[in-house]
Amino acid sequence: MDSLINLLDAFQIIFSNPYSLMYILIGVAAGIIVGCLPGLTATMGVALLVPFTFSLPPVQGLLLLLGIFTGGIYGGSISGILIRTPGTPAAAATLLDGYPLSQRGEAGKAIGIATIASFIGGSIGALIMSFLAPEIAQFGLRFGPPEFFALAIFGLTMIISISGVSLLKGAIAALFGLLLTTIGLDPLSGVARFSFGSDDLLGGITFIPALIGLFGFAQVFHNIEKMQIVPQVKSKVGKILPSLKEIRSLLPTMFKSGGMGAMTGSVPGLGADVAAFIAYAEAKRTAKKPEEFGKGALEGVAAPEAANNGATGGAMIPMLTLGIPGDAVTAVLLGALTIHGFQPGPLLFVNHLDIVYPIFAGMILCQLVLLIVGLAGARLFARLINIDTRILTAVIFLLCIVGSYSIRFSFFDVGLGLTIGVLAYFMGKAQFPVSPILLALILGPMAEQNMRRSLMLSRDDPTIFFTRPISAIFLFLAVFMAITSYIRFKQLRKIEQRVADDAAVENESNNG
Amino acid sequence: MKKFVCLLAVLFIFAAPASAQDFPNKDITLIVPWSAGGGTDTIARALVKNAEEHIGVNVNVVNQTGGGGVVGMTAAKLARADGYSVGMITFGLSTYKLMGLSDISYRDYELIQLLNQSSAAISVRSKSEWTTLGELIEFAQANPGEVSLGHTGAGGAWHLSAASLGVLHDAEFNFIPFDGGAPTRAAMLGGHVDAVATGIDEVKQLYDAGEVRILAVNALERHPAFPDVPTLEEAGYKIDAPVLDWRGLALPQGVPEDRVAIIEEGFKKMFEDPEFVAFTEEVGLALVYEDAEGYESFLANMEEVLAPTLDAVGLLKE
């Protein structure tokens, strides 16, 4: 009850300053722009704006940053849906169905659903954060190395859900991604692996340029090839709001994914990107029509978007209560709070309720503002796709180059992005899915490092993975997910085969 | 056209000496080799917060991360030597060469000043059975390899600091490397490791909240922000030359002397800014100033201390 009163007080504090809402609005709008530009991630957006908040009162400064965080995670989905280039890693799962939707001319609807899902997921995350932060934080601490390993293995089973037509090709892509993650300085042994003496490779395969290469550059090459042959898709901008019936049918997915996202985000080290993939795979596994996934299923947009915005609230929890950031963005926010004179940690809830509750209230308000700005802007964003492909492709190409450079101001990274882009383009030609590579890049280091760490802890006794309850549960879930997803996969192939056969028979009879 | 080019060239030659007085006339870049939001980054941003008052222009922090700091520090070494690129250099620079990771060392820079030295703390969570360092070490001596000790990365200051304690006093720890300070703290709080070695400032919040017990600090004197935490010697386990984490500023070699002087003076003023000093006190960071000369001898000494420690943990490459 105390927390509810504190929360209401905080709303009052925020509303008592007329500029507060303005800062949220500016933050969310700026966040959306930062988020939808490839290479400018929510993390960078927040980091870039921290110095600007120095001159603001702490509450207003933080509202601005929270706005960017919220807007940035959401904004990544817009470019994912429109141009198949996720603006942030968290949106990489959204494009699997978002892009096919926009190719069908339903970009507006896809963005509309992404907006509503982000709002619902984000609100669930913000509410869980406001009322359950200390309890959730204690839960997050129960994750040690064996638990993280089991979770990563569980995550890797999602490859089955995102492999497309061939499981074998999906597995090959994932293994390739896992191999890439072994490049660079190994933090466990302090030894350089596969760097061939290059300082640039010592840093490993940088994630953002790889992401841009896999989707952005590859899409550019693909566009260039098709430019003169395939007529451009004209997006029906008119319908932004999905029908009430559609929204109602998506609500269970959104609520479930938002909750899953918040829980995932609250475990230190797991961010919005992992949350989105988990929710996507779960939605597909339990969907009534899984065969639509990958071809423009509405749930395929709703689930990851609800989850990644839910994860924003979740990630704030360990940062505020323990001083341990849940992901990269909250790490920057932790720095910002520190500079403003509030050291996040257990004492923050004792000494500085004056900042804790405005943060909670601010997070909730950010979701509302996001809904309004997102729906208002959706029409405008969807129109972008109607720009002549020849111009759009050139612009995307430029953005991809700038994006891969700017993450750490490195030309090496531009080359890296281009190389991976060429590779991804040919993989596309050979019908290899590229999403498993991305998933492997995210989960590979987590799986490898924590496996080794666990074995160090147990002194090479592998039973450590099965004797700890959380670890055992996730390993069991991994097996369960793998089996059920595989059965679904087989069923789907059968249905598709039958459809193809029927079509062939029909063709024959027509011809005959 | 040719005449015009000649004229331009002449103008440039005459313009050059004048520009020294104008230095700096555009924003300065501070290359930070660690990611945004981390400890080093936060200090860098706090340091340059009021840069304009002290050096006349803004200083922008740019994070060039990767390779355990090698990427950013190499970038600072190779940056244009016009004084507009300043590098934050950190502890790793003392180890890269010894560990065979990279050829860069402090000798590749025009050193500006030392900013801080941090000491390692050996901490356990408050629920732990050990209340003093003596109990922990005696247990580790009696049960070699039983005590799991988390640290923030192999070859890092805290790993080496704890390793030297173990080597000198015959206590065998089971070292568990994590990737940075935050996951290390989380593992301690969750009880996944028995003890951790981190920078003492990294556990300040948890210490103040009573969540952790700091058993000892690996320094010759007590830390002003932690007057109740004994040094290793006071706890009964003397170390003559403790491994210290450090951060400092450097320019690439070849920057004109007058510009070096301007940078030195400007950053010293930022370093002494009361707001920055207050910030470092709040987070429990011990500022230590050394000018270029003192800095150099500190770094030379650090390499001598580190070589045998790295050898003891099997990370020395010769």
* Subunit contact B64:A410, Cβ cutoff 8 A: yes
Task: List chain B domain ranges.
Answer: 27-117+244-312, 120-218
Q: Best mutation site among A141, A267, A449 for testing chain B: the one with the most B CBs within 10 Å? A: A141
Q: Which residues of B touch A347 (CB under 8 A)?
A: 205, 208-209
**CA distance to partner chain B, nearest, from residue A411 (Å):** 12
Tell whether B211 lies on the interface with A, counting CB pairs under 8 A. yes
Residue B5 has pLDDT above 60, yes or no: no
Q: Tens digit of pLDDT for each residue in B232-282?
A: 999 999 888 889 999 999 999 999 999 999 999 999 999 999 999 998 888
DSSP state for residue B231 in the 8-state scheme: B
* Chain A residue nearest residue B48, CA to CA: A51
Q: What is the CATH number of domain B120-218?
A: 3.40.190.10
Segment (H or E) for B174: strand B174-177
Whole-number Å distance between alpha carbons of A374 and A111? 8
Q: Which of A106-120, A129-143, A173-187 has the lowest mean pLDDT?
A: A129-143
Whole-number Å distance between alpha carbons of B157 and B244? 6
Residue A188 has pLDDT above 70, yes or no: yes
**Nearest-by-Cβ selection for A339 from B46, B99, B182:** B46
The pTM (predicted TM-score) of the whole model is 0.84
DSSP state for residue A291 in the 8-state scheme: G
* Subunit contact A268:B37, Cβ cutoff 8 A: no
* Subunit contact B148:A457, Cβ cutoff 8 A: yes
**In a 3-state reduction of DSSP, which class is residue A91?**
helix
Burial of A57 (0-12, 13-18, 19+ CB in 10 A): middle
Q: Which residues of A touch B178 (CB under 8 A)?
A: 187, 453
Residue B6 has pLDDT above 60, yes or no: no
Strand partners, B194: none
The 3-state secondary structure of B250-274 reads EEECCCCHHHHHHHHHHHHHHHHCH
* Subunit contact A322:B177, Cβ cutoff 8 A: no
Q: Tens digit of pLDDT for each residue in B9-61?
A: 544 444 444 444 688 989 999 999 987 777 888 899 899 988 999 999 999 88
pLDDT category at A232 given cuts 50, 70, 90 is low
**Nearest-by-Cβ selection for A199 from B102, B186, B190:** B102
pLDDT at A51: 75
Q: What's the first-to-final CA gap in chain A, in angstroms?
A: 76
Superfamily of domain B27-117+244-312: Bordetella uptake gene, domain 1 (3.40.190.150)
Whole-number Å distance between alpha carbons of B143 and A175? 41
**Nearest-by-Cβ selection for B64 from A331, A336, A409:** A409
pLDDT at A512: 45
- Residue count (chain B): 318
Q: Best mutation site among B189, B196, B283, B313 for testing chain A: the one with the most A CBs within 10 Å? A: B189
**Nearest-by-Cβ selection for B185 from A200, A324, A341:** A324
**In a 3-state reduction of DSSP, which class is residue A204?**
coil
* Chain B residue nearest residue A328, CA to CA: B37
Interface of B with A in 65-84 (CB under 8 A): 65-68, 70-71, 74-75
Here the ipTM equals 0.82
* Subunit contact B279:A456, Cβ cutoff 8 A: no
**CA distance to partner chain A, nearest, from residue B203 (Å):** 10
pLDDT at B18: 45
Task: List chain A domain ranges.
Answer: 2-229+237-511
Q: Which residues of B touch A468 (CB under 8 A)?
A: none
**In a 3-state reduction of DSSP, which class is residue A40?**
coil
Q: Best mutation site among B30, B42, B285 for testing chain A: the one with the most A CBs within 10 Å? A: B42
**Nearest-by-Cβ selection for A334 from B37, B102, B153:** B37
Q: Tens digit of pLDDT for each residue in A282-333?
A: 898 888 888 888 888 999 999 999 999 999 999 999 889 888 887 888 888 8
Whole-number Å distance between alpha carbons of A201 and B254? 27
Q: Which residues of B touch A333 (CB under 8 A)?
A: 37
Interface of B with A in 178-197 (CB under 8 A): 178-179, 182-183, 185-187, 189-193
Q: Which residues of A touch B44 (CB under 8 A)?
A: none
Interface of B with A in 239-258 (CB under 8 A): none
* Subunit contact A322:B42, Cβ cutoff 8 A: no
